[in-house]
Amino acid sequence: MTYDAKNLRNVVLLGHSGSGKTSFVECMLYEAKAIPRRGRTEDGNTVSDFTQIEQSRGNSIFSTLMHVGWKDCKINIIDTPGADDFVGEIVSALKVADTAVMMLNARSGVEVGTELIWEYVQTNKTPTLFVINHLDHEKADFDATLEQAQARFGSKVLPVQYPLSTGDGFNTIVDALRMVVYKFPKPGGKPEKHPIPASEMERAEEMHQALVEAAAEGDEGLMDLFFENGTLTEEELTKGLNIALATQSFFPVFCVSATRNMGSGRVMGFIHDICPAPNERPAAPLSSGSTLACDEKGKTAVFIYKTMSEPNVGNVSYFKVFSGTLKSGDDLVNAENGTVERINQMFISEGKTRELVNELRAGDIGVTVKLKNSHTNNTLNVKGSDIKIEPIHFPAPRMRVAVSPPSKNEVEKLARALHTIQEEDPTIIMEQSVELKQMILHAQGQMHLDIVKYRLEKVFNVHVDYIKPRIPYRETITKEANHSYRHKKQSGGAGQFAEVHMRIEPYTEGMPAPSGLNVRNTEEHELAWGGKLVFLNCIVGGAIDARFLSAILKGIMSKMHEGPLTGSYVRDIRVSIYDGKMHAVDSNDMAFMIASSQGFKEAFPMAAPQILEPINDLEILCDGEVMGEVMGDLQTRRAIIMGMDSEGHYQKILARVPLSELHGYSSALRSITQGKAKFTTKFADYQAVPGDIQQRLIEDHKHEMAEEHAHH
């Protein structure tokens, strides 16, 4: 069965861990008769969390694609993980979804994970419904959760339903859109419809009126009808809510219990009736700045939003047809690298089971296997078209570790495995750091790193250990020093001779010319690792030929790569060459290079050298009640608090923390706050390290060098 865009609905399920997304999907699949019975996450038999690792850990790690038929529609459903560490799965799913279903947990209200996801929903301008789950829990509080959602996400969050009672007795929902009561039988499923009792009429009518006003607001014609008749017909209401939902000026709230299978059918009915079809969403943005409409008669353009490598299958690519019609056997060109890919087999997906199909039209989502050179974020086009769909923008990593160097014969195996993992998950960045002489893995958090390790060991059979990454220190000086150095070597035949007099001083933007020297020429060199080297020619009366200046500069540069204190890069130094001597026969470039590099090396310790460390900006969002502990922990990390603010019912802390103190912060924050916090961090600048730490770093470096010499 092939569906047109108007009969497709692409839905992504979002929510903090434990809000019940995976169980809710089971209800949707079961109610739509896609599965004969509902699985339970506890039993590891749900359609969504089907990988071995998810079942062993009991939570979602990857997004899962499923679909159900509902009346004349096909609803594609992408279930996503709730943990902040797997945000890449959420961002990629939002790229291809037209509606988001945000699950809230009635016993814990709006959680910090929900906040993070909301930012991405807003960026994508995705129409969103809220579903309050766990209403059968004894601690469920519908009103408090609704209030929190309205406080956090705005007054456009409007309830469509409310429960008659929560906790163990939950089985009745008042629906203010349809103005009817749904009463569920003990095993859940299809409810009986009853009229609204007199005692609830006032509350239900008030809610209904708010929905009618929301529907009338977005459309002038409906507004006029509303003023004339004081209300809207069901058809007008549907049309108005469809517009309001699409423009993000209305966020409906539904009630469910996923464990009891109560309420999912009504949510699917709403998705069918009111949520936008792919061709009702704004045209997709392209890298070129123009847009692409969802039209099955257009040129075929397919976007890969996710790649996975599966045992015994190889590369599995999840894609959305953004335009045209894709048929099996089609040859498409990858807009990124120009390679041709034949789509031999196409599937629609139900978790791990896949069903072959022959064609998919614009707006639909499918799966294919064995693409050779195509990965996440690539666009595949019909020949002669070179459309590039604007890529998914993945968030920057928040954590780094070093991978302990594997044995020689494992190096290549590890590199290949990490390359595969990185292609599947662009939120992981693998860096071979020349500066730190370490393999650095950047990820979203500790759980994320644990999964990478698990996969390396179980799937790729490579054993790794994570170790503390080195810190990219910098070195500079804090006062002026003058020094001269003579290089002289006599050995049968030509000798080597050069003498260089230099002044070194700390460089700052806009500093005055060096006193007592005559500056003839200034060169500013931006260093690849940050900061500058400023090189001044102050030579008077031809003491050194101008042709040797570049050799002198080269000699100094060679020492900028390796500071004398810790072997780190050197920055922000001004060198003035003001005198020297040369020999008509024995002076050459080599001699001057040696003289200047040795001279610089000896002058450096005389100029009060200073180690600089990278400082990061850290932003933390946490609950007010854990604020004290979070602040206390920051104090032990040499943090400087830059500001505090409240955001919704969260506290926001801005701090500057040395990178060396952030190792393991993800786990520390999670345990201090029981997971009720999130953080982002990014490089800010370099600052001088305190004296005691500088001493320790110099000692450590000496120790390391001595050990290395002993080895050689």
Please tell me the distance from the alpha carbon of residue 516 to that of residue 547, in angstroms, as a whole number.
24
Per-residue model confidence as pLDDT tens digits over 480-494: 999 999 999 877 667
Per-residue model confidence as pLDDT tens digits over 658-709: 999 999 898 899 889 887 888 989 999 999 999 999 999 999 999 988 988 8
Please tell me the distance from the alpha carbon of residue 537 to that of residue 543, in angstroms, as a whole number.
12
73/134 same-domain check: yes
Collapsed DSSP state (helix, strand, coil) of residue 488 = strand
Predicted confidence (pLDDT) at residue 220 exceeds the cutoff of 80: yes
At residue 678, the pLDDT reads 85
202/154 same-domain check: yes
Residue type, 260: R
Q: Please check whether residue 712 lies inside any domain of the structure.
A: no
Per-residue model confidence as pLDDT tens digits over 583-635: 988 899 999 999 999 999 999 999 999 999 999 999 998 888 899 999 999 99
In the chain, the number of structural domains is: 5
**What is the radius of gyration, based on Cα positions, of the chain?**
32
β-pairing, 365-369 vs 314-323, is antiparallel
Q: Which of 352, 382, 412 is the last residue of a domain?
A: 382
β-pairing, 251-255 vs 157-159, is parallel
Per-residue model confidence as pLDDT tens digits over 231-289: 888 888 889 999 999 999 999 999 999 999 999 999 999 999 999 999 999 999 999 99
Per-residue model confidence as pLDDT tens digits over 135-185: 999 999 999 999 999 988 999 999 999 999 999 999 999 999 999 999 999
101/167 same-domain check: yes
Of the candidates 104, 24, 33, the one whose C-alpha atom is nearest the C-alpha of residue 69 is: 33
What are residue 68's phi and psi, to 5 degrees?
A: -135, 150
Question: Residue 216: which domain range?
Answer: 5-280
Q: Checking phi first, is residue 109 left (phi over 0); if not, alpha (psi -120 to 50) or beta?
A: left
The CA distances from residue 659 to 630, 654, 685, in Å, are 17, 15, 10
Per-residue model confidence as pLDDT tens digits over 274-324: 999 999 999 999 999 999 999 999 999 999 999 988 777 888 999 999 999
Beta-bridged to residue 525, according to DSSP, are 533
Contact between 47 and 36 under an 8 Å Cβ cutoff? The reply is no
At residue 58, the pLDDT reads 61
Beta-bridged to residue 318, according to DSSP, are 306, 367
Predicted confidence (pLDDT) at residue 364 exceeds the cutoff of 60: yes
Per-residue model confidence as pLDDT tens digits over 8-21: 999 999 998 888 89
141/264 same-domain check: yes
Of the candidates 273, 266, 271, the one whose C-alpha atom is nearest the C-alpha of residue 181 is: 266
375/479 same-domain check: no
Identify the band that residue 406 occupies on the pLDDT scale cut at 50, 70 and 90: confident
At residue 54, the pLDDT reads 65
455/532 same-domain check: no
At residue 648, the pLDDT reads 67
Predicted confidence (pLDDT) at residue 552 exceeds the cutoff of 90: yes
126/253 same-domain check: yes
Helix (H) or strand (E) holding 380: strand 379-382
Q: Is 233 buried (19+), middle (13-18) or exposed (0-12) by CB count in 10 A?
A: exposed
Domain with 562 in it: what CATH number?
3.30.230.10
Per-residue model confidence as pLDDT tens digits over 643-656: 998 876 788 999 99
Domain with 332 in it: what CATH number?
2.40.30.10
pTM of the model: 0.86
8-state DSSP, 33: T
Q: Please check whether residue 336 lies inside any domain of the structure.
A: yes
Q: How many CA atoms lie within 13 A of 393 on its CB side?
A: 6
Of the candidates 628, 602, 710, 622, the one whose C-alpha atom is nearest the C-alpha of residue 674 is: 622
**Mean per-residue pLDDT for 524-539?**
95
Q: Which of 590, 607, 624 is the last residue of a domain?
A: 607
Please tell me the distance from the alpha carbon of residue 76 to that of residue 69, in angstroms, as a whole number.
9
Sign of CA dihedral 21, 23, 29, 34: positive
Please tell me the distance from the alpha carbon of residue 551 to that of residue 553, in angstroms, as a whole number.
5
Predicted confidence (pLDDT) at residue 100 exceeds the cutoff of 80: yes
Highest averaged pLDDT of the listed ranges 97-106, 220-229, 458-467, 490-499: 97-106
Identify the band that residue 476 occupies on the pLDDT scale cut at 50, 70 and 90: very high
Q: Checking phi first, is residue 377 left (phi over 0); if not, alpha (psi -120 to 50) or beta?
A: left
Q: Please check whether residue 391 lies inside any domain of the structure.
A: no
* End-to-end Cα distance, the chain: 70
515/544 same-domain check: yes
Predicted confidence (pLDDT) at residue 227 exceeds the cutoff of 80: yes
Predicted confidence (pLDDT) at residue 351 exceeds the cutoff of 80: no
**Mean per-residue pLDDT for 331-355?**
91
Please tell me the distance from the alpha carbon of residue 128 to that of residue 156, in angstroms, as a whole number.
11
When the pLDDT of each residue in the chain is averaged and rounded to a whole number, the result is: 91
316/372 same-domain check: yes
Domain with 432 in it: what CATH number?
3.30.70.870
Identify the band that residue 51 occupies on the pLDDT scale cut at 50, 70 and 90: low
87/133 same-domain check: yes
At residue 42, the pLDDT reads 67
Sign of CA dihedral 114, 120, 122, 124: negative
Q: Please check whether residue 703 lies inside any domain of the structure.
A: no
Q: Please check whether residue 701 lies inside any domain of the structure.
A: no
Predicted confidence (pLDDT) at residue 108 exceeds the cutoff of 60: yes
687/646 same-domain check: yes
Residue with tokens 């579903």: 131
Contact between 216 and 226 under an 8 Å Cβ cutoff? The reply is yes
Helix (H) or strand (E) holding 581: strand 573-581
Domain with 673 in it: what CATH number?
3.30.70.240
Please tell me the distance from the alpha carbon of residue 593 to that of residue 589, in angstroms, as a whole number.
6
Predicted confidence (pLDDT) at residue 49 exceeds the cutoff of 60: no
Q: Which of 254, 280, 306 is the last residue of a domain?
A: 280
Interaxial angle between packed helices 21-31 and 264-273, expressed in degrees from 0 to 180 and rounded to the nearest 10? 80
What percent of the chain lies above the pLDDT cut of 90? 70
185/232 same-domain check: yes
Q: Please check whether residue 390 lies inside any domain of the structure.
A: no
